[in-house]
Chain A
Amino acid sequence: MKQDKVDDKLASDCTRRTFLKAMGLGSAGSALVLSGCGDTDIVNEVDIEVRKELVLPNVDPQDFVRPGVEMYYASTCRQCPAGCGVHTRIREGRALKLEGNPVSSVNKGSLCMMGQAGLQGHYNPDRLTKPMVRKGGKLVEVSWDEAEDTLIKVMGRKNSKLAWLNGATSGHHAALIGAYLDAVGSKNHFVFDTLPPAVGHAANEKMFSNAVPKLALDKAKLIVSFGADFLGTWMSPVQFAKQYADFRNAPRGTLVQIEPKMTLTGANADRWLPIRPGTEGHLALALASLLAQDAKYAGRVSSDVLASLKDVDIEAVAKATDISAERIHKLHHLLTSHAPSLVLSGSSAEGFEHGSQAANAILLLNVMLDNVGKTILPREEVDFPDLHPQLGGWAQLKSFVDGLNHGDFDTAVVFGTNPIYQAPDFMGADKAFAKAKTKVSFSMFPDETTMASDVVIPIHSPLEEWNTSMPAYAVEDGQLNLQQPVMNPVFGDDSTRAFGDVLLTLLQNIDAQFKRWDSYQTYVTDALLTMRPVLVNPPRATVPGQTPEEGFKQGILSTGFVQLKSKKSKPIVAKLEPVDLPTATGDDAKFPFHLVPSPRAGLWDGRHANLPWLQELPDQLTEVVWDSWVEMHPKTAESMGLITGDVVNVKSSSGSLTAKVVVFPGIHKNTIAIPLGQGHTEYGRYAKGIGVNPYKILNAKFDKQTGELATHATQVAITKVENRGDLVTFAHGDLVLESNTSTQAGREIVKTVTAEQFNREEKEV
């Protein structure tokens, strides 16, 4: 395209604004730095043709192949929504190892096990390499030409009955998806991701006007966490682990974890308290009522809230929660003797019909303890809402399924999420999905939803594509992470394609203005160049002869992210509502056990079950590999005559499943836990056919306020099926089958000192 033509197109501000919008740079209205009349037209500054050349093509073979010399490329981990920065080690054109990017504020040089295993997704032998179209009831591989024609037929036109479901997303994928849905005239956009704590976000939004406030774990002297597994699966585990390490420096912070099933965070607590599931809010309320006896704390909340704390009977709460009255008083004492503290609400407290109210009661403690402004901080304002993280939740999945059931949608598009695997049986997601006339899946792997689709588009791995994204939990507001292809596509040029490229081509068919970009790469680069004026310290040319654009691009690619300017926001003023919790109910005689579907750091919500390194990484708590299991307290197991390895049937009123028992001390006696991650019926050789998915048997219960699935509210009955099955667990390195025998046998392998001793010693050094 010639420059003058571009100028013509950009003649009016209006056009300019639509272009900005198209690049996801539409403004929220407050900080109009890029659009409006009169400012320098950055878009016009550079010739588009020139710009194209300037995008450093890191897929240039000469750059990759310097025999024997390793190189590192900055990019972003996409294994979970946290968005840690990575450095990819490349030799002879192959990505060999991922390491943390030391300058990324999210992970400061570290990665979790899932980040490490990103390579096994990239090189996975079960990756989709050819587009597929359903013909005569079967998915058959077709050429890209045919796939593109089909795609244009089903997705390349105006269609208000098109429904779009994607996993947690942000950055330019989010922007382009938004642009696409606008172009086809569809309002049916749904976002579903399993683990982001949607109920907690809503509660935070309500109370603190910040859905994801900044948490300063490292500043707290005491953390009391109601089931927030921040070291394992909560929001941004690597970031929180970094903060945790600071928190544990002398003077050492104290961690109390209250949850029915011990999580990785619970395993590191100074005091782990098993609580009866569903009563977390009640305990929080009891603590609030004890605090309210002191005017210092009572003065921080309004009278109607105080009124709701009046008639809390500690003894009754002790009975309901299985936490003794004495322990409640001790907790109260801990809270009053440590300031600032931080009280967290996590998924095992929020997964009930009264989940929002429980979170409300828990967060209230922070207000009474004056933690707001100290360990709970407001987010700064960042413009470009189109680029912000969309985390979604179960409520949106439900709307998607409901819409399909009502016949509201004729075309269903799924990207980056796997509803047929995740959704409980009661939702009937598979049957609903089948109702759509055409189902399209953009996927790297043959997952359950993909295999039920009619058109399957094999997409690039995160290490093969250009992209931007924003961390789900940002440490520095406004961090926009970059991804660049670190090597040529693993399966060659005619196999997988970048999701962004496929979607852009489709968009070009509907909306001519997108023809301006010949690839997703130019689209992203153009957007980044346009954003320069609103970036903090945009890199400049460093080498003589380099143009400013070249310098900028080289700079951002070696950093791996850019930082958008943000605006300081006002301090948080908590808005409180009286807590309204139902009376805790006793046990159900027919279904005596509470079921905790527990996420694992590793397999996560099941998306990493196809990565053999993570299948073979023992579960941190039970040390089991390659399996699903039922965690049960030793006393409970004894009373039922069960030992580790026995096969049991777990039945809820919505379904049943069969798995092996692991006798495990870190679980409330009336509770069983089944880890998430297995139970795949598709998803390649490493995942398919292993274990069970506890989500499948959940009952149809939803949080009353947010409509999110009450993931922890299902009760189950257990019956023995047969004696010892083939369960494999490593306990203390030697292979033993009963985890309750795994003590150090007096060998002093892990020694322990008290915090008091520790603080004294550290002072001396």
Chain B
Amino acid sequence: MALKRMLENWSDLRKRDYYEDEPYMWGMSIDLNKCTGCGSCVTACYAENNLPVVGKERCGSGHAMHWMRIERYWEEPEGETDIDIEQSDYPERGAHYTPMMCQQCNHAPCEPVCPVAATYHTPDGLNAQVYNRCVGSRYCGNNCPYKVRYFNFFDFSKDIPAPLEMQLNPDLSVRSKGVMEKCTFCVQRIRSAKDKAEDAGHRDYIEDGAVKTACQQTCPTEAIVFGNLKDDDSKVKTLWAEHEVELNRHEQEKVEDARGYRVLEELNVEPSVMYLDRVRDTEA
């Protein structure tokens, strides 16, 4: 039956569009010219999303639960003209930082491999995770090119000593052993903004800026911008347009001088996060 329907509607289903009638498509922009790699966003995420602290030993076995992490690389920047830089024993152009979390791919490699459809795509563009459905196969984590899915190998919540548990955010669950979790674009904040908008009488419209993700909210340099890519006036949409990054386009031609890109875009996973190039003054 399902197959029949699929074949009948093949051309419709193959149409490359994301829920045409849906008013929301959540997206993000991270400006690496501004991000300093301080990690405030990481801690804000712990506070907002009930992320457990796992301790040194478990960090050592790769069990840290940081939905957002700061990656730091030492590398020669491209386009370097100064010969001294290459010959130097020191990273004279500083470090390369980038915040990394679930990119909310629209062709998410994690989704089709889940045997129980615990991870699926929402109409507003989120890669959602149903904790109650998750059986812990960890196929999704295995298939994620960004390595941003985190598995609860233990019942971390049992280790929270009183009264620290009073800080837990009641808007989302405390996960237990055996389920996979990851960045949700602070879905609880999106839900609450939607509810508020509906209470105020507009079903299909959330004002730009009414939902801020926890990382965006705290970032001292305002490097992170979050919002609705379907809202042409939203800041995030403006940024995507300015830097010539678009969803629903197989290959983003890298326009000369445009700083926007999506990490590992060549995998065609259609991430919802645009990064803006890091900048260095090579004259210095």
Residues of A participating in the B interface, judged by any CB pair closer than 8 Å: 91-92, 94-100, 107, 109-113, 115-117, 119-120, 123-125, 231-232, 237-238, 241-242, 244-245, 248, 252, 254-257, 262, 264-274, 327, 334, 490-491, 601-602, 612-618, 620-621, 623, 625-627, 633-635, 665-666, 669, 685, 726, 728, 730-735, 739-740, 742-744, 747-758, 760-761, 764-765
Contact = CB atoms under 8 A, between A and B. Distances in A.
B218 A110 contact: yes
Given A115-B218, A254-B283, A753-B279, 9 more contacts: A96-B167, A99-B218, A116-B47, A273-B92, A613-B46, A616-B59, A728-B56, A731-B72, A733-B71
19 contacts: A97-B169, A99-B217, A112-B38, A113-B38, A120-B167, A237-B220, A252-B33, A267-B94, A267-B95, A268-B36, A268-B94, A613-B47, A616-B59, A625-B64, A742-B73, A750-B32, A752-B277, A755-B280, A755-B282
A617 B74 CA distance: 19
Given A751-B278, A752-B79, A765-B242, A733 B53 contact: no
Nearest to A622: B72
B37 A268 contact: yes
Contacts of B278: 750-753
A621 B220 contact: no
Nearest to B91: A665
A750 B72 CA distance: 9
Interface residues of B, number: 81
Contacts of A621: 72, 95
B169 A761 contact: no
Contact of A743 (B60, B73, B162, B166): B73
Contacts of A733: 69, 71, 100, 147
B86 to A, nearest CB: 14
Interface stretch (B12-20, B109-117, B130-138, B256-264): B256-264
Contacts of B128: none
Contacts, number: 287
A615 B209 CA distance: 32
B279 A755 contact: yes
Interface of B: 32-34, 36-40, 42-44, 46-48, 53-57, 59-60, 62, 64, 66, 69-75, 77-79, 84, 89-98, 100, 147, 161-164, 166-170, 214, 217-223, 242-243, 257-259, 261, 263-264, 275, 277-284
Contacts of A728: 56-57, 59-60
B73 A750 contact: yes
Nearest to B266: A748
Contacts of B166: 94, 123, 490
A274 B90 contact: yes
Contacts of B279: 248, 252, 752-755, 757-758
Contacts of B97: 267-268, 620, 750
A272 B91 contact: yes
Contacts of A625: 56, 59, 64
A98 B47 contact: yes
B220 A112 contact: yes
B74 A743 contact: yes
A217 B36 CA distance: 15
Contacts of B32: 750
Contact of A272 (B47, B55, B92): B92
